[in-house]
Chains A and B, each alone.
Chain A
Amino acid sequence: MTQHIVRAYDEELGALSAKINQMGGIAEAMLTDAVDALARHDVSKARSVVERDGQLDALQHEIEELAVLIIAKRQPMANDLRHIMGTIRIASDIERIGDLMKNIAKRVTVMEDRFLGTRSLAGIQHMAHLVLGQVKAVLDSFAQKSADLARHVWLHDGEVDQLNNSLFRELLTYMMEDPRSITFSTHLLFIAKNIERAGDHATNIAETVYFIETGQQLSGPRPKGESSVFAVSAPGK
């Protein structure tokens, strides 16, 4: 992209993007560490995840303030305006991912570890791995200004949803077999749901990046695997 006549304008837009990248880096690390803390039942790591959420909140506020300042100073148009508005939305999505990871970490600090080792954990780790890939890819698409990459992320959200469905069924089975596992399994259900929702935010970011780069909304059919709301929950049915 050619540069602006006013160089300070480029610097301001660059600062916005840099803050998004910084937020993205923190959120990615929180996702990795939250699931790691769960797998190892590492409470101190979980606490560090909870603490990092504040950094995301602060960065989000900085982004909003800078965006408002740029709009007031420069009256941005076209792709610049889309970039600034998109940055505000992406910051909000990343901040939500941070909240979800904080929630996982908080659960880890109160969970008993005696049910650890169920296959469900492997499923959650696999889900987290996929979502982390989605988050990384979508942040790359933002940094590289790639509408194609954003669209790719947007199209590949289905696998996470399907994993969440199978985890849901699996955990229901455990709970029916052994009522003592209900508390633990419920935590895992919420954790899986949180990871799945983090994936949804990655999809939102993909839509925003696509809009920033093309001025068009992403539309059309998209593979959706989410059906846990319809899953059979009563035994014998």
Chain B
Amino acid sequence: MDMVKYCLGRLGRALITMAIVLSIVFLLMRLLPVEGYFGDRSDAMNPKVKEQVLKSLGLLDPWYVQLKNFWVDLFHGDLGRSIVYRKNVPVMDIILPKAKYSFQFGMAALVLEKVIGLPLGVLMARYKGKALDKFGNLYILIINAVPAAVYYLLIQLGGSSLFGVSMLYKPTDPTSWILPTISLSLGGIASTAMWMRRYMVDQMNMDYIKLARAKGMTSSQVSFRHVLRNAFIPMAQSLPASILFTISGSLYVESLYSIPGMGGLLVTAIQRQDNTLVQAMVLIYSAISVCGLLLGDIAMMICDPRIKLTKKGGSR
């Protein structure tokens, strides 16, 4: 019961946060020079036509009226129609199919990331200072030091010529998933392994590990029964946000493989001053951030009995 109350409170605050974010972004978009709304032919347009365009977009009203209209529409569940990007198409019809692609690729990469990254981190911690650990650290270092663009290209070119898989994404060809998924997961594998190793090593140096050893447990029993779970908790917190954020896609990978995903859509929408599209995406992203944090905290609470979100202050 306390928990439900707590979640409702958090959600309430989340809604306020999102409203503030949305309003600020809404107003910022209105501060942009109006030339963007006329497209390429702005020089050739006469002032009357320009005014007509602005009027039809409702941009000539005072800002507070525009903001009010936006909120009223939003409460009716109407995010509006695209004004530039794909004129008059409802923004959700633009966003949802793209989000689906990004989510699918993102999830595939995320699964790969955790399936490889977590065990790698665990093994690196167990064999700290040995060859495996050094190899893993080298990998992490390379991934972090080399710009992603470089190895993305290498994977695309090398992968397609060596294994004969398609260089571009084709909806009909499942093998065309392989290269983009690998590209997407490499960075995540490195960071997952790095943090997992870090948390494992932290836990292994704790006093309770000494006691567990003194009980007579072998070091692999200690690793699996004590260290692993305790090290995983900090990882659990970021998991919900990682899952939700897969829908934002990757600008680079998606354009390399011409995947019709979300990557770059926000940038394009801002550049072309497609106000409604920007607003819808900001709404979605802020909702994801806020929910990701909340779910992360709940995940932590489930894993760690010491954490009580509902009670104030420590218990001792």
Chains A and B belong together in one complex:
no
- Residues in B lying within 8 Å of A, measured CB to CB: none
Report which A residues bind B (CB closer than 8 A): none
